[in-house]
């Protein structure tokens, strides 16, 4: 204590102290996930370095010679409180939890106070409190303080970047499969979540939903006496276009689609690299650039089709539709399954293979309003698809064509060939599912003019460049995360009612497309007229013969 210490040295020591003393929930959770210490110590070491770097970067904002002791102490106190509640109540400090904390009233706070809380907080807080009261900080010119803080911030960023680059094979699948870990990183998670929750109202988009259904109407193909259309729109999950056999992949991963003579566009790019980013964007009328820059929320493709008078139904086998289906009928695939179907298609946790989307589909269709069904149906099936990192769970045990496959969620522990085998089995499972969906449409062809359009939300990294899974920033994401498959099967009556030339469509399968085309292509396929429809973005518009 006799030797003076700079604010930057104090910040570094506090960061190391908090990493060691205030992160018991993180290290306990990591040990439960990793099993034996030899399996998770590499990840623990990488997370420890990232924790120190992140805390140093935050404390660099407060690394000044005057008046900062109280702020440093407050950061340690927040970390001590967060650790207690994460350990006691098994919560994670995400923005939702931080919002709850900010809205807690005096009575709720009183209920939470206890001797155990006091002792747990003091165990973390006593040593740094004593130290911060005694440590001597020499005076320093403001300009020199700014320079040293900037150097400390730059060094922290450089070390963190190097750690991520070296440890991505372990960290990427770990954080993707166990996202709760990021909200156990203390004090980064509570500080980040509190700031996000506090600032979110100030940056929230306009609460008014911009309507897009005004002027939506059915086109002339819906004339009296004509059979209504039934279009199944399958939203794929984590599928790469270059792993589809019908796109030239070296393995025959799509025999069912090839057998049915589908159309497959091989040059399609996604709106984002995650479901949260892509799903609302691909159904939006705005297109990627305008969608990302929007200041308000807009109605989407489903709203417009419904406003035109058709029936719309979303059936989900994923973690939800990200608000896309909130204003139309929607259901979970697992809902309504018979016990025998559930035992065959779902595991103990309730996660089901995609075949569950087809179970009871006739009954779901019949439950839609008859007046709307008479005008046509847009049925959206949201797949589990190739969602990782547990690819081996996405295909049925008796249908695995590519072996041996990776059977762990720690993808870096698998040989590359085994990882690709597991992923290709998911593509083969999607192929079988799409084949069964087309067969089901055949059973409905007596009542409807039927068709299917499949488009994945984003792709996936399978170890290329040391990357796994998806979610990289779009500008730097590899092509595997953005190059997605788009497949269509059109029954002859549906093609005829739209005067579509299949030969023309086949001739344009190499044309560059993106998620921006989905909204307008579906409106065109269903002959729904809307002021928001843009023929230039309808991928099939150029292959329609002019109406007589």
Lowest-pLDDT choice from 86-95, 146-155, 285-294, 399-408: 86-95
pLDDT score of 164: 86
Span(s) in the chain for CATH 3.40.720.10: 233-300+312-362+378-543
- What distance in Å separates the CA atoms of residue 53 and residue 47, rounded to the nearest whole number? 10
| Cβ–Cβ under 8 Å, residues 239 and 456 | yes
pLDDT score of 108: 44
pLDDT score of 143: 82
- Tally of CA atoms within 13 A in the half-sphere of 438 that contains its CB: 22
Of the candidates 44, 21, 54, 40, the one whose C-alpha atom is nearest the C-alpha of residue 189 is 54
pLDDT score of 89: 59
Strand partners, 331: 315
Chain-centre distance of CA 469, in angstroms? Answer: 11
* Mean of the per-residue pLDDT values of the chain: 88
What is the per-residue pLDDT across 133-162, written as a single tens digit (0 to 9) for each?
Answer: 888 888 778 888 888 888 988 999 999 999
What is the per-residue pLDDT across 206-239, written as a single tens digit (0 to 9) for each?
Answer: 568 999 999 999 999 998 778 999 999 999 999 9
φ, ψ (nearest 5 deg) of residue 214:
-60, 130
pLDDT score of 384: 92
Bridge-based pairing of strands 483-490 and 449-456 is: antiparallel
Is the pLDDT assigned to residue 296 strictly greater than 70? Answer: yes
Residue 122: count of CB within 10 angstroms of its CB: 12
Is the pLDDT assigned to residue 111 strictly greater than 60? Answer: no
- What distance in Å separates the CA atoms of residue 477 and residue 376, rounded to the nearest whole number? 39
Q: Taking phi first (over 0 means left), then psi (-120 to 50 degrees means alpha), and beta for anything else, what does residue 265 get?
A: beta
Residue 433: count of CB within 10 angstroms of its CB: 25
CATH class, domain 233-300+312-362+378-543, is alpha beta
Average pLDDT of the residues in 445-459:
96
pLDDT score of 85: 79
In DSSP notation, 357-403 reads GTTTHHHHHHTS-HHHHTT-EEEEEE--TT-SS-GGGGS-GGG--S-
3-state DSSP call for residue 298? strand
pLDDT score of 38: 65
pLDDT score of 295: 87
Of the candidates 365, 332, 538, the one whose C-alpha atom is nearest the C-alpha of residue 453 is 538
| Cβ–Cβ under 8 Å, residues 462 and 423 | yes
Of the candidates 224, 169, 194, the one whose C-alpha atom is nearest the C-alpha of residue 77 is 194
Q: How many residues does the chain have?
A: 548
| Cβ–Cβ under 8 Å, residues 33 and 81 | no
- What distance in Å separates the CA atoms of residue 498 and residue 453, rounded to the nearest whole number? 15
What is the per-residue pLDDT across 369-381, written as a single tens digit (0 to 9) for each?
Answer: 999 999 999 999 9
228 DSSP 8-state letter:
P
- What distance in Å separates the CA atoms of residue 160 and residue 380, rounded to the nearest whole number? 42
pLDDT score of 107: 39
- What distance in Å separates the CA atoms of residue 321 and residue 352, rounded to the nearest whole number? 16
Bridge-based pairing of strands 311-316 and 377-382 is: parallel
- What distance in Å separates the CA atoms of residue 458 and residue 478, rounded to the nearest whole number? 11
Query: What is the four-CA torsion angle of 342, 347, 353, 356, rounded to 10 degrees?
Result: 10
pLDDT score of 279: 95
Average pLDDT of the residues in 411-426:
92
* Percent of the chain residues topping a pLDDT of 70: 91
Average pLDDT of the residues in 454-478:
86
Answer whether the bond into residue 320 is a cis peptide, omega within 30°: no
Lowest-pLDDT choice from 103-117, 213-227, 475-489: 103-117
Of the candidates 224, 225, 254, 199, the one whose C-alpha atom is nearest the C-alpha of residue 386 is 254
Average pLDDT of the residues in 46-50:
91
Of the candidates 26, 357, 338, the one whose C-alpha atom is nearest the C-alpha of residue 175 is 26
What is the per-residue pLDDT across 499-521, written as a single tens digit (0 to 9) for each?
Answer: 999 999 999 999 999 999 999 99
φ, ψ (nearest 5 deg) of residue 380:
-105, 125
Query: Which of the four pLDDT bands, split at 50, 70 and 90, describes residue 97?
Result: low
Q: Taking phi first (over 0 means left), then psi (-120 to 50 degrees means alpha), and beta for anything else, what does residue 228 get?
A: beta
Average pLDDT of the residues in 66-95:
81
Q: How would you write 17-53 as a 3-class SS string?
A: HHHHHCCHHHHHHHHHHHCCHHHHHHHHHHHHHHHHH
- What distance in Å separates the CA atoms of residue 357 and residue 313, rounded to the nearest whole number? 12
pLDDT score of 182: 84
- What distance in Å separates the CA atoms of residue 424 and residue 404, rounded to the nearest whole number? 12
Count, in order, helices (H) and strands (E) of the chain: 20, 14
Is the pLDDT assigned to residue 425 strictly greater than 90? Answer: yes
pLDDT score of 99: 57
């Amino acid at each position: 204590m006799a030797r003076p210490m700079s604010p930057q040295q104090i910040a570094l020591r506090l960061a190391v102290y908090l990493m060691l003393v205030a992160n018991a929930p993180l290290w306990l959770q990591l040990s439960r996930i990793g099993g034996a210490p030899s399996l998770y110590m590499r990840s623990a070491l990488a997370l420890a370095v990232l924790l120190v770097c992140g805390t140093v970067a935050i404390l660099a904002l407060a690394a000044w010679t005057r008046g900062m002791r109280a702020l440093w102490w407050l950061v340690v106190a927040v970390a001590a409180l967060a650790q207690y509640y994460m350990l006691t109540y098994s919560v994670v400090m995400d923005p939702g939890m931080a919002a709850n904390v900010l809205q807690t009233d005096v009575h709720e706070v009183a209920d939470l106070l206890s001797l155990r809380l006091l002792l747990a907080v003091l165990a973390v807080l006593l040593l740094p409190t004593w130290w911060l009261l005694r440590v001597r900080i020499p005076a320093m010119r403001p300009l020199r303080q700014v320079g040293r803080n900037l150097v400390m911030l730059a060094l922290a960023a450089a070390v963190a970047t190097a750690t991520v680059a070296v440890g991505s094979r372990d960290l990427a699948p770990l954080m993707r499969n166990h996202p709760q870990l990021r909200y156990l990183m203390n004090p980064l998670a509570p500080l980040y979540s509190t700031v996000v929750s506090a600032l979110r109202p100030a940056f929230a988009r306009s609460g008014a939903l911009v309507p897009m259904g005004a002027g939506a109407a059915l086109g002339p193909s819906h004339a009296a006496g004509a059979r209504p259309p039934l279009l199944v729109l399958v939203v794929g999950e984590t599928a790469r276009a270059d792993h589809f056999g019908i796109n030239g992949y070296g393995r025959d991963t799509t025999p069912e689609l090839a057998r049915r003579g589908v159309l497959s566009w091989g040059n399609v790019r996604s709106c984002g690299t995650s479901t949260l980013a892509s799903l609302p964007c691909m159904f939006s009328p705005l297109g990627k650039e305008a969608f990302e820059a929007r200041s308000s929320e807009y109605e989407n493709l489903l709203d417009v089709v419904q406003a035109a008078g058709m029936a719309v139904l979303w059936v989900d086998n994923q973690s939800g539709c990200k608000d896309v289906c909130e204003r139309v009928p929607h259901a979970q695939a697992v809902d309504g399954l018979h016990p025998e179907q559930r035992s065959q298609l779902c595991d103990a946790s309730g996660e089901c293979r995609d075949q569950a989307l087809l179970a009871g589909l006739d009954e779901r269709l019949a439950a839609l309003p008859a007046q709307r069904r008479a005008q046509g149906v847009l049925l959206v099936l949201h797949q589990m698809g190739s969602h990782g990192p547990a690819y081996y769970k996405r295909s049925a045990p008796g249908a695995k064509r590519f072996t041996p496959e990776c059977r762990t969620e720690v993808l870096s522990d698998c040989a590359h060939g085994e990882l690709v085998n597991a992923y290709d089995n998911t593509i083969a499972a999607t192929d079988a599912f799409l084949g069964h969906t087309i067969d089901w449409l055949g059973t409905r062809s007596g009542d409807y003019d039927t068709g299917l359009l499949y488009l994945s939300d984003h792709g996936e990294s399978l170890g290329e460049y040391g990357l796994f899974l998806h979610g990289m920033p779009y500008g730097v994401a590899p092509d595997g995360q953005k190059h997605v498959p788009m497949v269509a099967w059109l029954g002859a009556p549906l093609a005829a009612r739209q005067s579509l030339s299949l030969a023309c469509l086949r001739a344009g399968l190499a044309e560059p497309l993106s998620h921006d085309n989905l909204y307008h292509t579906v409106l065109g396929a269903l002959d729904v007229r809307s002021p928001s429809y843009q023929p230039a973005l309808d991928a099939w518009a150029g292959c329609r013969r002019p109406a007589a």
